[in-house]
Amino acid sequence: MTPAQSITEALDPILAPAGFVPGHGSDDPVAGQVIFCAGHDEFAETLRSAHLERDAAAAGSLTGDHLGAALPRLGDILGRLFAPTTVCRRP
């Protein structure tokens, strides 16, 4: 099993129900990469369903931002989405 396959096997069951497309990436046995994507609308709905309405609005404000400016804010949003208390509140 490649590193990418190990990553998708572990994270797909967590990220796919949260609105992300199952991971895809390289089969390189040493330096494989995995990408998980979520459409803007699906991601915003995921945040709202986790009672993170402010983060859903903030995610909407990232559209058109320079990647360097958007990544730290997106990292904060994802941190709150996958915080143990948020994950436990999900239906």
Q: Do 18 and 58 fall within a single domain? A: no
Note the pLDDT tens digit of each residue in 4-40.
888 889 989 988 888 888 998 887 777 678 888 888 7
Residues 71 and 44 in one domain: yes
Q: What is the domain extent for residue 74?
A: 38-91
Whether 70 shows a pLDDT value over 70: the answer reads: yes
Do 1 and 32 fall into the same domain? yes
Q: Give, in order, the Cα–Cα distances in Å from 82 to each of 18, 26, 50.
A: 10, 25, 10
| Phi, psi angles (nearest 5°) of residue 71 | -60, -45
First-to-last CA distance in the chain?
33
- pTM, full prediction: 0.63
Statement to judge: residues 84 and 54 lie in one domain: yes
> Do residues 32 and 52 both lie within one domain?
no
- Number of separate domains in the chain: 2
Q: Tokens in use for 32? A: 């494989």
